[in-house]
Structure 1
Amino acid sequence: MADNFNFELVSPERLLISEKVSEVVIPATDGEMTVMANHAPTMTTIKPGVVSVKASNGQVTKYVVFGGFADVVPTGCTLLAESAVALSDLNRETLTKRIEAARTELDAVESHEHKTRLEQYLAELTHLNGALIPA
C-alpha cells in the first residue's frame, strides 16, 4: 500500500481540496508528473490540463486547472492554480469563453514573447476543449 501525503489544490476563488492522498498527477509545463509520498523537492509551472487525485481509499477525483505552479516536498504537494474547477463542473461554455478571451488578447498583443506565450496557452485550451468536452 502506498504512503499518503498532504495535497492541497488552491485557486484564487477557493480551496478545492486539502486532504491526505496516495497519488496526484499534475499537468506540469514540461509534461504530466505523478507525485507520490517522499517525492524529491520540486517546483514546476502548470499548464492548462487535468489534475487527477487518488485518495487514500483509492477513489479518483479530477479537476481542471488553467495554469499556476506546484510546490512538491517529500511530505506533500501544494498546487496554486490561476483558476481551477472540478471536472464534473466544467462545461463547453466555460471553455469557449476562455478560448475567446485568449484570442481577443492575442489579437491585441504586440510583444513577440507575450504573443508566443498566448499562442501556446490558446493551443492548450483548444486541446483541453477537444479532449474533455465531446462535440
Structure 2
Amino acid sequence: MADTMQFDLVSPERRLVSVPVREVRLPGTDGDLSAMPGHAPVIVNLRPGMVVVVDESGAEAEFAVTGGFAEINNNSVSLLAERGHARGEMTQAIFNEMMVDAIRRRKIAEEKHSAGEEIVAAAVKLLADMEAMGTHIGLDPNQASVPD
C-alpha cells in the first residue's frame, strides 16, 4: 500500500490545492471521516467545516468549506466544495458572507414551513455548523447580519 494519495480540492471559483497527502479529515454530513491511502471507494456529502490535510512530512493544512462532496478512492480524494478557502485566507468579511448565506437559507426554510420540518432542521444545522467553523478559526459568527 502506498504511503500517500492524491488530494484535489476545488470550488466553483478555483482549484485550492492539488497535492500528495497521507491523510484527509472531512466534515461529513453523517459524521467526520478520515481518508488514508487504500480507503474503500465512497462518496461523502460534506457539511460546513474544516477539511484537514496531512502532507508527506506530517504537516497539516486546513481549508474551510461550506459544503459539497468528496469522492474517495483507494489512491485519491477529490473534493468539490460549494465554497472553500484556505484557513489563512479566511477573514471576518469572507466568513460574514458565508454566514449571511446560511442565515438566509434558514430564514427561507422557516418561512416555508410547508417545506417540512426536515428542511427547517437541515437549515438550522447548516447555520450551527457555520458558526462552529467560524469559532474554530477564531472568527465571530455574530458579526454577520442579514438585511430584511
Q: TM-score scaled to structure 2, two decimals? A: 0.82
Q: Determine whether 1:133 maps to 2:132.
A: no
Distance in 1 of aligned mates of 2:104 and 2:5: 41
Distance in 2 of aligned mates of 1:101 and 1:46: 17
Q: Is the 8 A contact 2:95 2:139 kept in 1?
A: no
Distance in 2 of aligned mates of 1:75 and 1:89: 28
Distance in 1 of aligned mates of 2:55 and 2:38: 16
Query: Which residue is equivalent to 2:144?
Result: none
Alignment of 1:72-111 (within 5 A): 72-109=72-109, 110=112, 111=115
Query: Which residue is equivalent to 1:6?
Result: 6
Deviations 1:84-115 (A, max 9, x none): 00001102222223222322333233122432
Q: Is the 8 A contact 1:9 1:16 kept in 2?
A: yes
Distance in 1 of aligned mates of 2:51 and 2:122: 21
Query: Which residue is equivalent to 1:24?
Result: 24
| Aligned residue identity for 1:86 | A
Of residues 65-74 and 26-35 in structure 1, the stretch that sits farther from structure 2 once superposed is 26-35
Q: Is the 8 A contact 2:102 2:130 kept in 1?
A: no
RMSD: 1.6
Displacement of 1:31 in angstroms is: 1.6
Runs of 4+ in 1 over 6 A off after TM superposition: none
Q: Determine whether 1:122 maps to 2:127.
A: yes
Distance in 1 of aligned mates of 2:16 and 2:43: 20
The runs of 5 or more residues in structure 1 that have no matched partner are none
The runs of 5 or more residues in structure 2 that have no matched partner are 141-148
| Aligned residue identity for 1:80 | L
Q: Is the 8 A contact 1:92 1:133 kept in 2?
A: no
Displacement of 1:134 in angstroms is: 5.1
Alignment of 1:37-52 (within 5 A): 37-52=37-52
